[in-house]
Amino acid sequence: MAALRLYQIIVFLAAPFLRLSLSRRAAKGREDKTRLRERLGRASVRRPLGHLVWVHAASVGETLSVLPLLEDILTSRPAQSVLLTTGTLTSARLVAKFQTTHPDLRPRLKHQFAPLDRPPYVSAFLDHWQPNAAFWVESELWPNLILACTQRDIPLVMINGRLSPKSFSRWQKISATARRLLGAFSLLMAQDATTAERLKGLGLTNIKTPGNLKLDAPALPVEPAELSALQKSFGERPLWLGTSTHADEEVRLGEAHRMIKTSVANVLTLIAPRHPDRGDALAKQLRDAGHKLAQRSHGELPDGDTDIYLLDTLGELGLFYRLADIVLMGGTLIPHGGQNPIEAARLHCAILHGPHIENFQEIFEALEARQAIASIADTPTLAAQVKALMQNPATVKQMSEAALSFAEEMTGTRARVVDLLAPYLAAQDAPTPRPQMREAHDG
């Protein structure tokens, strides 16, 4: 328990610097200036009356995986309300877009930025929201929040839990703390058998393995008019997509574009960064490297001379995957661990990946076993593989059909998760709650 106590001491001593850090992050565009109070546990919206579950999804990947699950829950349980907290601006925008496209669910789905893990902020947050249960998505754990929930008898459930080899090794070194924090969860849902075994290795027993939510997401949506407009703009140009890319990968994709261009005339490279707010800096970096570029966030369309189309917008991956037959998964060219390939697989793409796939090892290996995916080692082999696929449409067709077949088989997880969550949710036949009339307070 020494590690937990040390953490609490550090958080206590850091208190004077937290507000300053928030202000600096806001000045850099990494926090919403108008909603900083939420990071201090002070609610900016009312609590709905009745049964409320709090769901915490740290960032973009967790948010994308849990939103379809929340839609299932809210649609089937009219008395259920949900508070969804996230930690990044991009994930908050995803929630806002979901609320806009699901106006019937909006009154019962509230969003707040997660409070910083300091006891006064945690208390203010829980005082206002008073959740009937708390669901944490994947692996982000905040000790003070967990302990405060247990002190208030708020049941905790982990959804789609994941333990990477590195995280498992760290937890093993502080196994007593691991058992204290992870043991506070009434239920741990592991996303795969490997995570389940690692949780058991830490001495935990309350484990279920319903599957991976990220494998059971519906196909990403698309605006038909936007798809038609871009198809007309691209014409018959050969193209490929680097998706969910991270820092340094975009430069490598630009280098690969030059190599591909030597033998594939008029090729167009599409790049969709994982964090679209990097768009302007990326555009400058790529232009400085000599590429002619069009930037989607600025309303630009590629012309016949454009080398790279920078897709720095939010919530349009469904559009881009439908435009590109060949997709490189970002986060795999650098030691990040890779991004989830299932969204591209579900939209009939031939998928490439670099050497770093630790975050989704089992998924990549399953796709590889079906010859639905191809690995590359570096920028030259990436360029060579893209060229080879562009010159062999039959191979692209075989890979994309195998990927789609795998994605279609990975359904059913959401239904199993909802069944496991049933004891923590409002009854399906309960009356719809009336809106809570009291004003939001500062905690």
Find the CATH number of the domain harbouring 211: 3.40.50.11720
Average pLDDT on 159-166 reads 90
Helix spans in 174-234 (H): 175-182, 193-201, 224-234
What does the pLDDT look like over 353-407, one tens digit per residue? Answer: 999 998 888 899 999 999 999 999 999 999 999 999 999 999 999 999 999 999 9
Q: Are 101 and 67 in contact (CB under 8 A)?
A: no
Q: Is the dihedral of CA 85, 86, 87, 90 positive or negative?
A: negative
pLDDT of residue 432: 64
pLDDT of residue 126: 98
N-term to C-term CA, the chain: 29
Query: Residue 421 pLDDT > 70, yes or no?
Result: yes
What does the pLDDT look like over 201-217, one tens digit per residue? Answer: 999 999 999 999 988 98
Range of the domain at 356: 224-409
The helix (run of H) or strand (run of E) holding residue 241 is: strand 239-245
Residues 368 and 400 in one domain: yes
Other C-beta atoms closer than 10 Å to the C-beta of 276 total 20
Average pLDDT on 41-66 reads 94
Residues 244 and 95 in one domain: no
Residues 236 and 142 in one domain: no
Query: Residue 350 pLDDT > 90, yes or no?
Result: yes
Q: Are 241 and 320 in contact (CB under 8 A)?
A: yes
Q: Give residue 443's pLDDT band: very low, low, confident or very high (50, 70, 90).
A: very low
Residues 26 and 162 in one domain: yes
How far, in Å, CA of 71 to CA of 434, rounded?
A: 20
Residues 279 and 198 in one domain: no
Which amino acid would we find at residue 275?
A: H
Domain count, the chain: 2
How far, in Å, CA of 310 to CA of 295, rounded?
A: 5
Whether 432 maps to a domain, the answer reads: no
Average pLDDT on 75-95 reads 95
Model's pTM, two decimal places?
Answer: 0.78
* pLDDT over 70 percentage in the chain: 97
Whether 440 maps to a domain, the answer reads: no
Residues 247 and 229 in one domain: yes
Helix spans in 309-412 (H): 317-323, 342-346, 361-369, 379-390, 393-409
Q: Are 270 and 299 in contact (CB under 8 A)?
A: no
